[in-house]
Amino acid sequence: MLEHPEVRVVGDRPLLVADDIHRHFEGLHAVDGVSIEVPPGQITGLIGPNGAGKSTFLAVLAGTLPATGGAIVFDGVDITRFPAYRRARRGLVRTFQLPSEFARLTVLENLLVAAPDNRGDSLVGALLGKRYWIEDERRLIKDARALLERFGMSAKESDYAGDMSGGQKRLIEIMRALMLKPRLLLLDEPMSGVHPKIVLEIQHYLQDLRAEGLTILMVEHELHMVERLCDTVVVMAQGKVIGSGTMASLRRQREIVDAYLVG
């Protein structure tokens, strides 16, 4: 099983709280006062029409875009001003809407570049030589190969990542995020452009990760997949939250049906 750092949960406290988040681009209010809570150990879905501000909001949570206003609290700590790398070190890790593999590195190397706690990555560590960092490298290679086996890609570890299919690139990106041992995984359209067979595989992997205690916030357009996977769903339109609940409850709300769920 994948090991995650212990999540310190007090009662029913959310793992992440975003309060009145704004992100403006000159005159465009891409995210306009969004507030959500992400409960621990669940998959929360984020849906809405194209241009609703979902991916921008995810980028603000991850720290790859700064918020124009509002506050983000992760496990009781205000991280609003933390850069992305500090958020990742605390366990808040994202994937991207478009695959972002290192094309001329092998599949195994793509996982290893994300791995933390390798003493050989520092200048001092490199100067001290292989004997100083070799045990870290062996441990991380073992972790990476365990993920490759779990995701059915052991046979591809020495292949270039750029030669993989779209679905395999999605798996590489998810595995690379898992190398950071996240506590909250932000997924931006993980099913986009993926063969139906691999879509079902990703569904099962995410269900297994939730069963192991990983918290996930997922932007996704495939509503049947959202309905299967997500415990709670948040709907955005025009930069605002217009509703939240289960997919069954959302289908009964006329404003949301008219905005997004028609058909």
* 211 three-class SS: helix
Task: Tell me the residue type at 95.
Answer: T
- What are the residues whose beta carbons fall under 8 Å from the beta carbon of 143, sequence distance 6 or more? 115, 179
Sign of CA dihedral 246, 172, 183, 197: positive
What does the domain layout of the chain look like in residue ranges? 16-101+172-261, 103-163
Q: pLDDT tens digits, the chain, 263 residues: what are they?
A: 444 444 444 457 899 999 999 999 988 999 999 999 999 999 999 999 889 999 999 999 999 999 999 999 999 999 999 999 999 999 999 998 887 888 999 999 999 988 776 554 555 556 555 664 567 678 889 999 999 999 999 999 999 999 999 999 999 999 999 999 999 999 999 988 888 888 999 999 999 999 999 999 999 988 889 999 999 999 999 999 999 999 888 888 877 777 666 54
Calculate helix-pair angle for 166-178, 196-211, nearest 10 degrees: 10
Write the DSSP assignment of 68-88 as a string of letters: SEEEEEETTEE-TT--HHHHH
DSSP single-letter state for residue 63: T
The two most distant CA atoms of the chain are separated, in Å, by 65
* 256 three-class SS: helix
Q: What is the architecture of the domain spanning 16-101+172-261?
A: 3-Layer(aba) Sandwich (3.40)
pLDDT at 5: 42
- What values do phi and psi take at 241, rounded to 5? -85, 125
